[in-house]
Structure 1
């Protein structure tokens, strides 16, 4: 059974560009062997990520992320059983925030900043769908 899980977390202040790239490399290396695909967005110290795959594999990875000391205030935004993946093309895609039109964030939020804590899980998924549609995702 496939599931899709979306969460948000706040990064510890010491997360820098190099550590973010290391997290992405590790995800791209490890996720395929567990059948996990997804999309990561990072901006202003906030992670928002969607994971797709088998229920046990996704739940296990989410529990590892929630226990990771680089994350705090981990919040489950959405969890659902799915019949097909939305992000099957990425072991872990990353949103290119530099290419993001702030109006897209305003479409789903009160401000033009990424704040998944202030919007519903459904709005976060709609934002991810538009990011994919507007080619704002890097492989």
Structure 2
């Protein structure tokens, strides 16, 4: 059974570009073996990530994230059973907010700043969908 999970968390310590690159590299190396695909957004110390795959694999990954000391204030934004993946081609895509029209953020949030703690899971999912359509995703 396929599921999609979306969560947000705050980085426990400041992250440099190299730290984020290492996280993405690790995800891209390990996700295929677990059948996990998804998308990661990091802005102003906040992670928002969508994970898709088998229920057991996605649940186990989320449990590791919740227990990871690099994350704090982890919240579950959405969890659903799905019939098909939305991010099947990406072992882990990355949102490039510099390529994003600021009006798109304002469409779904109170301000033009990405703040998943002030957004519903439904709004965050719609925003991710539009980010994909807008070409704001980088896949390496």
Q: Identify the TM-score tier after normalising by the shorter chain.
A: over 0.9
CA contact (8 A) 2:12 2:71 kept: yes
CA distance in 2, matches of 1:132, 1:57: 24
Shift of 1:36: 0.2
Residue of structure 1 equivalent to 2:117: 117
Shift of 1:12: 1.9
TM-score in terms of structure 1 length: 0.98
1:35-86 superposed Cα distances (whole Å, 9 cap, x missing partner): 0000000000000000000000000000001111110000000000000000
CA distance in 2, matches of 1:69, 1:47: 14
| Structure 2: unaligned runs, 5 residues or longer | none
Residue of structure 1 equivalent to 2:54: 54
Q: How many residues align?
A: 139
CA distance in 1, matches of 2:45, 2:39: 16
SS state of the match for residue 27, structure 1? helix
| Structure 1: unaligned runs, 5 residues or longer | none
The 5-angstrom pairing of residues 8-47 of structure 1 reads 8-47=8-47
Shift of 1:100: 1.2
CA distance in 2, matches of 1:28, 1:65: 16
